[in-house]
Amino acid sequence: MNRKLFIFFTFIALIFISFNSSAQIEQDVCRIENGKLIFELKTNYSQTELKQLRDLFGIDSVLYHTALNAKTTFTYKGEIWFTKKRKDKRVVLWKEIDNKGITLNLNIPFLSSFYSQPNPPQISHINWGYNKLKNEKAVTITSDSSTFQLLGFRNANQVVLSGSFNNWNTQQLRMHKNALGWFISLPLKPGYYEYKYIIDGEWRIDESNQLTTDDLQGGENSVLFIPNHQFELRSEKDFHKVYLAGSFNNWNPSDVKLLKKGDLWYLPVWLNDGTHSYKFIADNVWMSDPKNPNRVPDGHNDFNSVIAIGDSVQFQLDGYLQAKNVILSGSFNNWNTSEIKMVKNGNSWVCDYVLGSGNHEYKFIVDGEWIIDPKNPMTRTSNGITNSLLILHPNYTFNLNRYKLAKKVIVTGTFNNWEQESFEMLKKGDRWTISLYLPKGKVLYKFIVDGEWILDPDNKDWEENAEGTGNSILWIPN
């Protein structure tokens, strides 16, 4: 038996000895055999046992229920799992591991400090960002690839790059040694990514990268943006400082400073899909982008420049043919009352606007009067105000059965700060339903049926809360 296997079984024995007094999970649920990590699982665990299964072995409810329903094999978080049902109402779940012993991608929490980092929660919603590298050689981004360069550590035996771009796989992206340290190139689409280096088994952030975020496990992850746009201002004037402000950073005038090269001020950024308004602030003077013809009124007798990324949505208001001015206003433009002017087309007022995925609220302003969209049955009420609701590219559908006599059903959770007025579900036959765009990762939720808060009766996955009433859980993948 090699040293890693000896340490693994020693840890297993110590954990079971200390856990035995309160455990309900069987002690032989996990073993290593012939290069496989094997779990023998019951099909009728209680909620307490499921929590212990998660805490002790990292088998979360999604993996567990997938194993129960899968036929022979499936992929979960980038790893291939095999499953087999037995006649004694048990399911055997296993995956291949390195025949030299324990590999770095074991997802067992009590071994995390020795072997691996459990997969961190996914990113909820990031609208934009730009990189802040201490050394520009740390990450080199071109049109077809991104090269990560870990400076130093030339005495290391092995360095692996792991991040949200490969589901935190700990063996896939082994780096190569060069004169500067270690490097690897891979194609990455524009977007937001988190990553770390694994240096001889030790997880390390990128010290050459100033951007980090909480990994929700007591540490940090490095953050990288792959740009899809570059802001540029070329001027013969000798500006001392040029800043960028827009809808993406709440119009902060001193937060984002542009870089300078010759007479060009520039900044590569990543912007989420949607319509973004912006201006430059050059030596305290606000100005629109002189090279961008796309502009909208800023409400102060001037204009904001506009960038649109993504799909265009057409808004339409029928009638009101005698109106002089119709404006579209919503959560997507911070409820600006003059920016998006609709135009008359036949018997309707229309406008096209580019939006990203999300739950968007909006209203029409007809000659100063705010109205909801009469053709859209979807609404959202918050703080007593009701707006029309547009769900663009929904990624989850809530369904509630067995409450056909209810008059009003709300779904609420971490995705809307537990508001009690929204989102109102629609009744279809004997069930209540609504499709929403939810943030990635773990989502807690409940239904409110005619004022009564309930767990999802069709979801066995839940966790306790401070009130002792529990919350239902679901996981939204990338």
Q: Which of 117-131, 205-219, 283-297 shows the lowest mean pLDDT across its residues? A: 117-131
CATH 2.60.40.10 applies to domain 311-391 = yes
Say what the pTM is: 0.65
Confidence of residue 26 (pLDDT cuts 50, 70, 90): low
Confidence of residue 191 (pLDDT cuts 50, 70, 90): very high
> Could you give the CA distance from residue 193 to residue 210 in angstroms, rounded to a whole number?
14
**Which pLDDT score is estimated for 343?**
96
Instruction: At 471, give phi and psi (nearest 5°).
Output: -135, 140
Confidence of residue 381 (pLDDT cuts 50, 70, 90): confident
Indicate where the chain has its CATH 2.60.40.10 domain(s): 128-226, 229-309, 311-391, 394-476
**Which pLDDT score is estimated for 46?**
81
**Which pLDDT score is estimated for 35?**
63
Q: Give Cβ neighbours of residue 19 (< 8 Å, ≥ 6 apart).
A: 56
The answer to whether the beta carbons of residues 29 and 45 sit under 8 Å apart is: no
Average pLDDT over residues 254-283: 95
pLDDT 10s digits, 306-364:
999 988 999 999 999 999 999 999 999 889 898 899 999 999 999 999 998 889 999 99
CATH of domain 128-226: 2.60.40.10
- pLDDT over threshold 50, residue 39: yes
Average pLDDT over residues 426-451: 91
- pLDDT over threshold 80, residue 216: no
> Could you give the CA distance from residue 424 to residue 341 in angstroms, rounded to a whole number?
29
> Could you give the CA distance from residue 164 to residue 119 in angstroms, rounded to a whole number?
9
For β-strands 256-257 and 212-214, DSSP reports them as: unpaired
Structure tokens belonging to residue 353: 């606007």
How many CB atoms are closer than 10 A to CB 273? 18
Q: What CATH architecture is 229-309?
A: Sandwich (2.60)
**Which pLDDT score is estimated for 1?**
45
Q: Which of 108-122, 411-425, 435-449 shows the lowest mean pLDDT across its residues? A: 108-122
* C-alpha closest to that of 116 among 105, 129, 102: 105
CATH class of 394-476: mainly beta
Average pLDDT over residues 461-471: 88
**Which pLDDT score is estimated for 23?**
46
Ranked by mean pLDDT, which of 46-60, 104-118, 354-368, 377-391 comes out on top?
A: 354-368
